[in-house]
Amino acid sequence: MTNPQWNAVDDYFSRTVSPADDVLTAALAASTAAGLPEIAVAPNQGKLLHLLALMQGARNILEIGTLGGYSTIWLARALPADGRLITLEYDPAHADVARANIARAGLDKLVEVRTGAALDTLPQLEAEGAGPFDLVFVDADKVNNPRYAEWALKLSRPGTVIIVDNVVRGGRVATPDPDDPAITGTRELFEFVAREPRLDATALQTVGAKGYDGLLLARVVS
């Protein structure tokens, strides 16, 4: 679902308040050249992630779903010099592209890209004592969204911010009995958040260059 006016507004926002730079442009170009799906966040959404991390004063960030590292760069740029970002990517080829993009951005000392199924690497993070994370961004396979939210909560502290992307699914998230596993997983995510007393959350619909979608934003309260 797209609309030319949505794209025009996104372009205007990107030109005025979230302009691209050579590093971000190169990251997208390298991802496209490598054949990665063009599903990275839009520039204004990347800037939103950056601002949320700054507002949070984040020093320790977890990202579930790296792709080519575009959103990773936006988030890592909000970190202090002694900060850390761990990003989890299932596909080794995608991870290689992301590492190159992150190194080009001069952020490879702050960012670690881990390869493998996130549901395998997340328990490793817990065993290592890698948390608690100040901000968690989830943008991976939607079927496992509720499991990712559970792990985000395990690896959090009171005050941690959890952001989950692509939760509207073109409006289909409101379908009571979906036949799409991605929508089923997203609805299970909302049900988990709704019954979890340690989370205070809301969700927003968005339109723009990425179509009709939205995000869930939660704060760990205890």
Question: What is the model's pLDDT at position 1?
Answer: 60
Question: What is the model's pLDDT at position 176?
Answer: 87
Read off the pLDDT band of 152 (50, 70, 90).
very high
Count other Cβ atoms within 10 Å, centred on residue 65. 21
pLDDT exceeds cutoff 80 at 2: no
Query: Which domain does 79 fall in, by range?
Result: 4-220
For the chain, how many structural domains are there in total? Answer: 1
Question: What is the model's pLDDT at position 177?
Answer: 85
The mean pLDDT of 16-36, rounded to a whole number, is 96
Burial label for 192, CB within 10 Å (0-12, 13-18, 19+), is middle
* Distance separating alpha carbons of residues 65 and 147, to the nearest angstrom: 14
The CATH number for 143's domain is 3.40.50.150
Read off the pLDDT band of 78 (50, 70, 90).
very high
Q: What is the pLDDT of residues 117-134, one digit of tens each?
A: 999 999 999 999 999 999
Output the CA torsion 185→189→190→191 (10° steps).
90
* Distance separating alpha carbons of residues 199 and 197, to the nearest angstrom: 5
Q: What is the pLDDT of residues 89-108, one digit of tens each?
A: 999 999 999 999 999 999 99
Burial label for 7, CB within 10 Å (0-12, 13-18, 19+), is middle
3-class secondary structure, 204:
strand
pLDDT exceeds cutoff 80 at 218: yes
Count other Cβ atoms within 10 Å, centred on residue 130. 16
